[in-house]
Chain A
Amino acid sequence: MAAKKIKLRAKIKNGVAQVKTLMPHPMETGVRKADDGALIPAHYIQKVTCERNGQVVVEADWGASVSRDPYFAFKVNDAVPGDTIKVSWVDNLGESSSGEVTLK
């Protein structure tokens, strides 16, 4: 199953970039049961990396208790139009995805 792309929105306000991301992902905890009573194996994003122009600004470790299709917002100081913001994730099964946006 190919992982879906991260959706990214960003805007600069008073020199600070507000970045909002949505990452389509099941975020299975591993304790939920399917209709037939069988456990659904854990499947969740473990690491999220946010970069500005190739430099890491935020690096997040997640457990399975982040909601399904995670929403994550962060702010980057001293942002100027033309900066690129890249967000990528890796899950516990080794799948990954990323998204990129250029600030206007």
Chain B
Amino acid sequence: MTITQTRRRFLARLLAIGVLALSPLKLLARNQPAFAAEEVDATLQALLGDKPLVNSTDIMLKVPNIAENGAVVPVTVTTTIANVERISLIVDGNPNPLSASFRLFPGAAADIATRLKVGKSSDVRAIVETATTAFFTSKNVKVTIGGCGG
């Protein structure tokens, strides 16, 4: 084997290793600006970009009217909108409004539930995105004990 051949093989392997090393990074891609945003408008901008955002009655957002403990507020989102790609939860009054963003792949139903911290009484928004449009609905939660103090 000539030196050129070995060199080619070596370079090809190096490239393969590089691609392998990079792929988990792509998988882990996280919209950090959206999570770091401190205002709702900035959060929406970082999350949606230019995607139109419209109010929708096809999203069922279930949150308690009054939360006795802001540290644990159950939130359920279901929707009849077809081809949902992502569901995001925003708590307007939190220091970083974006709480969670769920990407749905084929096989997943647009029906999720979790529990969030809600620092003070504020609106909770559910944003449901298809490939072209973002739909939202919101509901107010009154918190009687803070969620961030503990």
Contacts and interface: CB of A to CB of B under 8 A. Distances in A.
Given A60-B103, A63-B99, A66-B99, A31 B148 contact: yes
Interface of A: 16, 29, 31-32, 46-47, 50, 52, 55-68, 70-78, 90
B109 interface: yes
Given A47-B28, A58-B104, A65 B99 contact: yes
A58 B100 contact: no
Interface string B124-140: 00000000000000000
Interface string B75-108: 0000000000000000100111011111111111
Contacts of A56: 105
A74 B117 contact: no
B148 to A, nearest CB: 6
A46 B112 contact: no
Contacts of B103: 58-61
Nearest to B91: A65
A66 B108 contact: no
8 contacts: A61-B103, A63-B96, A66-B115, A66-B117, A67-B72, A67-B114, A67-B117, A78-B107
B102 A58 contact: yes
B107 A61 contact: no
Given A59-B102, A75-B111, A65 B117 contact: yes
B114 A76 contact: no
A59 B105 contact: yes
Contact of B109 (A46, A65, A74): A74
Contacts of A75: 108-109, 111-112
A67 B147 CA distance: 9
Given A61-B31, A65-B116, A55 B107 contact: yes
Contacts of B94: 65
Nearest to B114: A72
Contacts of A73: 112-114
B96 A65 contact: yes
